[in-house]
């Protein structure tokens, strides 16, 4: 059985420039300064991400930058000085480029570990040439070449998570820490946990990111066997202090008072570690409508915490594209009525039903170009903030990263799992398919739903004396969220995947609606017809599922990527309940693997099957019914039998993962800001990081 072993980076992996120079150059000087200081703050979080990825990542980062400086970017010097071959230097550069793109030695998307594709002896020579010797050199080489742990996940013999340090922690202990934090009113996003043994008892230090320092007393929990919990401020202190200093400078060039207020909230939260002020900043951020410079800064996404509650640093700065954004205003204006088309819609609440908010606050929508993305990978779109109470009362923002999405036009592996008759049409229109799907996914997928909650003791956001009827059981709903509970704290490790699965389903379920496709310009007479779009969208489901199987680890039977798990759950559901709408063709002799769609069954079988699954996930999410959701979803996402056979085929044909090289903003002596681009190569990626200054 093939497994997800640590693998060497593909030297042929394409490197793409996150192109934005003309747009940046067109900004007025004040906006350039605002974007520059925001970008400086974003990049200063790189070391936080490195520490959140693995214990060895920060040392590997330092080594790569020192290697660049040792040869001043003339990498061929290593051939003679270190007595290694040109191919070995290329292999090292490929590893270094991939490492810097992912900000760690585990893929940001998928969580698998990767190692250099060169002999250990050759790597040791390069390390020696940079001036490292002794135990430091030995530890560095071991950290770069060790094939275990193989992936990120709950700490085990094969998986690691740098959100959980010290002695190995169990899932039960993580839940105990979570309960303690809920009781104390401490949110987990900006924390890590370190377990130690003290006088025979486990002690859990909750490390809270802040510039302030200080420890609380050990909290005694007699029923758990003695002293257990201690809060410790000051995690990532140096980086957070520098980030705040850059935000202070950025505030001088903010475009309005809302932007200043957001940065003030960020700085206060970063200083104290108190996320309540960060939440307040998010409320204000949502009110800053259609800014020309947009940003996301803080501990945002919880994808890589196996427990799904602790978040990764994310520093993103974007420039708006108002002309492209304007084209989507019709969709945003019409989005609320589309809620009446969903499977849980009933006559109440103006046709939306009781599992939607009284007033559906459709996310603001913007097409932007990324100037800076200090993240473990360059993603295509985002819908924030992740705090559901803010989304329900203040709204949210959706951003499509146009200069990332455009790269889909050049995807070489896009049609690998299609038969010849479908391949070319799919390749030609992949960018369009993904764009339309992403808009629906973000605006309606993540923008719909009302979490039935007891917001304070005895106070509910629904009629608790006459609860809604659960469409899955025909009975009144029997559960809801209690005070201090969130969707993520209740659904834990499956929360992200269930939410992404629900959003993917939304775009697939609504893609046949003529009124939606017309907004994007597709009808029966367009070059790419509406029927073509529907057919290609179902093909896309199949393609994405087979591609996603690379993100399943058969050794511990875990998915390493939330979207991939969601895609697979949908696919398996369609194979079971779709009456042959999707078929996978596998030739064991040639290892060919293809997916086909029966277009005659899209509306009669495919759409109803998608609706049933979407309705179940939506209602369980709205009612905090994790007891029903977990066994169903985990079973649906399990990979066994023929699915494992397909996964084994996919594992033998790993796709080339793209890497992105980003530019730098530089403050010149005359006070002007310059944008510097780099070549589309591993050397360009390394140089870009070396020229970002001390991190």
The DSSP letter of residue 658 is P
Which of the two residues, 413 and 367, has the higher pLDDT score?
367
Calpha distance 299→374 (Å, rounded): 12
Q: Which position has the token pair 């310009």?
A: 521
Under the banding of pLDDT at 50, 70 and 90, the label for residue 2 is very low
Say yes or no to pLDDT of 1 above 80. Answer: no
User: Buried (b) or exposed (e) across 114-135, using 16+ Cβ within 10 A?
Assistant: bbbbbeeebbbbbbebbebeee
- Across 145-159, 201-215, 401-415, 435-449, least confident range: 401-415
Structural domain contains residue 694: yes
Q: Which residue has the higher pLDDT, 75 or 217?
A: 75
Residues 230, 205 contacting (CB under 8 angstroms): yes
* d(C-alpha 472, C-alpha 334), whole Å: 28
Residue 361 predicted with pLDDT over 80: no
388 in the same domain as 533: no
Contact call for residues 345 and 351 (beta carbons, < 8 A): yes
Within a domain: 329:
no
Cβ atoms of 112 and 151 within 8 Å: the answer is yes
Q: Tell me how far apart the alpha carbons of residues 288 and 396 are, in angstroms, rounded to a whole number.
A: 11
- Residue 10 — pLDDT band, cuts 50, 70, 90? low
In a domain, 261, yes or no: yes
Residue with tokens 């051939």: 79
Higher pLDDT, 202 or 414: 202
> Does the pLDDT of residue 482 top 70, yes or no?
yes
pLDDT in tens, 642-669: 999 999 999 888 777 889 999 999 999 9
Domain annotation covers residue 671: no
Say what percent of the chain tops pLDDT 70.
96
**What are phi and psi for residue 557, nearest 5 degrees?**
55, 45
Asked if the model's pLDDT at residue 384 lies above 90, the reply is yes
Is the confidence at residue 407, as pLDDT, over 50? yes
Peptide bond into 304 cis (omega under 30): no
Tokens coding 136: 């430091």
- For the stretch 595-644, pLDDT in tens is 999 999 999 999 999 999 999 999 999 999 999 999 999 999 999 999 99
253 token code pair: 């060039």
pLDDT band of residue 11 (cuts 50, 70, 90) is: low
Asked if 557 and 686 sit in the same domain, the reply is no
| pLDDT exceeds cutoff 80 at 226 | no
Q: Which CATH number goes with the domain that contains 225?
A: 3.30.70.2600
382 and 243: one domain? Answer: yes
Query: Among residues 283, 468, 456, which one has the least CA distance to residue 357?
Result: 468
- Looking at the structure, tell me whether residues 477 and 552 fall in a common domain: yes
Residues 37 and 51 in one domain: no
Dihedral angle over CA of 534, 536, 542, 545, nearest 10 = -100
Residues 281 and 218 in one domain: no
- pLDDT for res 110: 86
In a domain, 355, yes or no: no
Handedness of CA 19, 438, 626, 359 (dihedral sign): positive
Give Rg (Cα) of the chain: 25
Phi, psi of 503 (to 5 degrees): -70, -40
pLDDT (tens digit, 9 = 90+) per residue, 26-56? 999 999 999 999 999 999 999 999 999 999 9
Does 369 reside within a domain?
Answer: yes
- Tell me, yes or no, whether 668 lies in a domain: no
Of 235, 252, 273, which residue constitutes the final position of a domain? 235
How far apart (Å, rounded) are the C-alpha atoms in residues 37 and 666? 10
pLDDT at 406: 86
**Which of these ranges, 303-307, 410-414, 575-579, has the smallest mean pLDDT?**
410-414
Report CA 406 to chain centroid distance, whole Å.
19
Say what percent of the chain tops pLDDT 90: 79
Q: What is the pLDDT of residue 231?
A: 94
Kindly tell me if the per-residue pLDDT of 695 is higher than 70: yes
Long-range contacts of 594-597 (CB under 8 A, 24+ apart): 594/417, 594/418, 594/419, 595/417, 595/418, 595/539, 595/542, 595/543, 595/545, 595/546, 596/419, 596/422, 596/542, 597/535, 597/538, 597/539, 597/542
Asked if pLDDT for residue 411 goes beyond 50, the answer is: yes
Domain that holds residue 382: 21-45+238-320+361-410
Per-residue pLDDT at 560: 86
Q: Distance between CA atoms of 560 and 170, rounded to whole angstroms?
A: 18
Q: What is the pLDDT of residue 413?
A: 62
Rounded distance between C-alpha atoms, residue 44 and residue 68, angstroms: 20
Whole-number average pLDDT of the chain: 93
Looking at the structure, tell me whether residues 621 and 522 fall in a common domain: yes
pLDDT in tens, 550-600: 889 888 888 989 999 999 999 999 999 999 999 999 999 998 999 999 999
Query: 607 in a domain, yes or no?
Result: yes
Q: Does one domain contain both 618 and 471?
A: yes
Task: Kindly tell me the number of DSSP H helices and DSSP E strands found in the chain.
Answer: 26, 23
Domain end point (choices 201, 235, 269): 235
CB of 96 closer than 8 Å to CB of 15: no
Instruction: Return the HEC string of 23-59.
Output: HHHCCCHHHHHHHHHHHHHHHCCHHHHHHHHCCCHHH
Write down which residue in 370, 394, 410 finishes a domain.
Answer: 410
Q: How confident is the model at residue 447 (pLDDT cuts 50, 70, 90)?
A: confident
Instruction: Kindly tell me the sign of the dihedral angle through the C-alpha atoms of 595, 598, 599, 605.
Output: negative
Tell me: do 89 and 135 sit in the same domain: yes
Q: For the segment 207-223, what is each residue's pLDDT rounded down to a tens digit?
A: 999 999 998 888 865 45
Q: Are residues 391 and 244 in the same domain?
A: yes
In this structure, how many other beta carbons lie within 10 angstroms of the beta carbon of residue 516?
23
> 227 pLDDT band (50/70/90 cuts)?
low
- Same domain, yes or no, for 228 and 242? no
Contact residues for 150 (Cβ-Cβ < 8 A; gap 6+): 3, 4, 5, 6, 112, 113, 158, 159, 553, 555
pLDDT digits (tens, 9 = 90+) for 265-293: 999 999 999 999 999 999 999 999 989 99
What is the DSSP code (8-state) at residue 348?
A: T
Q: Domain of 275: which CATH number?
A: 3.30.540.30
Residues near 404 by beta carbon (within 8 Å), at least 6 away in sequence: 18, 370, 378, 379, 380, 660
Distance CA(480)–CA(15), nearest Å, equals: 47
Confidence category of residue 395, pLDDT binned at 50, 70, 90: confident
Number of domains observed in the structure of the chain: 4
pLDDT greater than 60 at residue 3: no
429 shares its domain with 493: yes
Answer whether residue 82 shows pLDDT above 90.
yes
For the cut 50, the answer to whether the pLDDT of residue 451 exceeds it is yes
């Amino acid at each position: 059985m093939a497994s997800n072993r640590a693998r060497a980076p593909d030297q042929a992996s394409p490197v793409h420039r996150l192109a934005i120079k003309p747009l940046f150059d067109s900004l007025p000087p004040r906006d350039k300064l605002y974007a520059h200081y925001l970008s400086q703050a974003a990049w200063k979080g790189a070391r936080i991400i490195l520490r959140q990825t693995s214990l060895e990542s920060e040392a590997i980062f330092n080594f790569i930058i020192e290697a660049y400086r040792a040869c001043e970017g003339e990498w061929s010097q290593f051939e003679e000085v270190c007595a290694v071959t040109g191919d070995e230097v290329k292999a090292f550069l490929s590893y270094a480029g991939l490492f810097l793109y992912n900000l760690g030695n585990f893929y940001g998307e998928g969580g698998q570990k990767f190692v250099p594709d060169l002999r250990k002896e050759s790597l040791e020579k390069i390390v020696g040439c940079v001036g490292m010797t002794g135990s430091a050199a030995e530890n560095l080489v071991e950290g770069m070449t060790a094939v275990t742990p193989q992936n990120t996940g709950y700490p085990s013999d094969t998986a690691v998570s740098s959100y959980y340090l010290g002695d190995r922690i169990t899932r039960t202990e993580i839940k105990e820490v979570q309960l303690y934090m809920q009781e104390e009113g401490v949110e987990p996003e900006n924390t890590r946990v370190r377990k130690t043994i003290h006088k025979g008892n486990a002690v859990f230090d909750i490390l809270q990111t802040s510039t302030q320092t200080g420890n609380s007393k050990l909290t005694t929990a007699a029923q758990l066997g003695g002293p257990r919990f201690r809060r410790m401020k000051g995690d990532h202190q140096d980086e957070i202090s520098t980030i705040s200093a850059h935000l202070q400078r950025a505030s001088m060039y903010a475009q309005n008072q809302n932007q200043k207020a957001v940065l003030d909230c960020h700085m206060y939260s970063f200083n104290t570690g108190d996320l309540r002020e960060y939440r307040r900043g998010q409320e204000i951020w949502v009110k800053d409508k259609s800014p020309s410079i947009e940003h996301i800064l803080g501990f945002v996404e919880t994808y890589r915490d196996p427990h799904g509650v602790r978040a990764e640093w994310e520093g993103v700065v974007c420039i708006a594209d108002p002309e492209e954004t304007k084209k989507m205003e019709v969709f945003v204006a019409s989005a609320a009525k589309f809620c009446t088309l969903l499977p849980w819609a009933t006559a109440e609440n103006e046709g939306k039903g009781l599992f939607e908010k009284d007033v559906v606050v459709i996310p603001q929508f913007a097409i932007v170009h990324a100037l800076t993305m200090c993240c473990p990978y360059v993603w295509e779109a985002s819908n924030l903030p992740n705090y559901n109470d803010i989304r329900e009362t203040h709204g949210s923002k959706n951003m499509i990263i146009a200069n990332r999405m455009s790269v889909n036009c050049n995807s070489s592996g896009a049609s690998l799992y299609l038969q010849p008759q479908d391949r070319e049409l799919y390749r030609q229109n992949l960018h369009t398919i993904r764009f339309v799907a992403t808009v629906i996914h973000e605006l309606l997928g993540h923008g719909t739903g009302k979490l039935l909650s007891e917001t304070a003791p005895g106070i509910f956001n629904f009629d608790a004396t006459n609860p809604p009827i659960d469409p899955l059981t025909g009975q009144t709903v029997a559960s809801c969220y209690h005070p201090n509970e969130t969707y993520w704290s209740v659904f834990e490790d499956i929360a992200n995947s269930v939410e992404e699965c629900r959003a993917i389903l939304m775009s697939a379920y609504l893609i046949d609606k003529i009124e939606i496709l017309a907004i994007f310009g597709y009808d029966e007479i367009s070059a790419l017809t509406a029927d073509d779009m529907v057919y290609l969208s179902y093909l896309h489901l199949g393609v994405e599922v087979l591609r996603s199987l690379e993100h399943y680890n058969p050794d511990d039977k875990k998915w390493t990527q939330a979207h991939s798990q969601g895609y697979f759950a949908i696919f398996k559901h369609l194979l079971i309940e779709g009456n042959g709408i999707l078929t996978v063709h596998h030739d064991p002799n040639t290892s060919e693997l293809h997916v086909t769609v029966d277009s005659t069954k899209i509306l009669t079988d495919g759409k109803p099957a998608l609706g049933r699954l979407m309705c179940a996930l939506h209602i369980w999410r709205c009612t905090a019914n994790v007891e029903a959701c977990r066994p169903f979803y985990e079973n649906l996402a399990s990979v066994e039998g023929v699915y494992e056979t397909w996964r084994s085929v996919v594992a033998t044909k790993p796709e080339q993962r793209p890497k992105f090289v980003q530019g730098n903003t530089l403050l010149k002596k005359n006070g002007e800001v310059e944008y510097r681009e780099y070549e589309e190569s591993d050397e360009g990626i390394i140089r870009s990081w070396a020229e970002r200054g001390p991190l």
